[in-house]
Structure 1
């Protein structure tokens, strides 16, 4: 199945693209995508506070993905 991955902030810097398309096995979860991205882009592993949204809704690592889902990588942010 194909999914669209949106990157922001430091995840965009690490991956080098705003949008990334992945072809994954059916039944893949958000955790599976994180594992895949960490293998491909090792600095992702250091982002312990990385959050995810599937189709504009916050999602847990266990959330199952479907064909053409949009997964946003939401890095930690700070400000004052």
Structure 2
């Protein structure tokens, strides 16, 4: 199935774009998506430190992704 990925902050630099359509297996979870992204984009090796949102709501690793979901990859933000 196909989902839309949105990348923010440093994640955009690590994958070279801020959005893409991405194919994953039916009934994949967030943790399976993370593993796939690490496999395809080595720069995302620290993705477990990033927040993941699905359809504008933060998601846990066990959430099942459905067809046409929009998944945002949000790196940690620091400031002062």
Q: Which TM class, normalised by the smaller chain length?
A: over 0.9
**Which ranges of structure 1 fall in alignment gaps of 5 or more residues?**
none
Aligned partner of residue 64 in structure 1, secondary structure: coil
Alignment of 1:1-80 (within 5 A): 1-80=1-80
**Which ranges of structure 2 fall in alignment gaps of 5 or more residues?**
none
The range that moved more, 58-67 or 47-56, is 47-56
TM-score under structure 2 length normalisation: 0.94
TM-score under structure 1 length normalisation: 0.94
Deviation at 1:46, TM superposition (A): 2.5
Size of the alignment, in residue pairs?
Answer: 80
Aligned partner of residue 49 in structure 2, secondary structure: coil
- The RMSD of aligned alpha carbons is 1.0
Q: How many Å separate the matches in 1 of 2:45 and 2:22?
A: 18
Q: How many Å separate the matches in 1 of 2:48 and 2:35?
A: 13
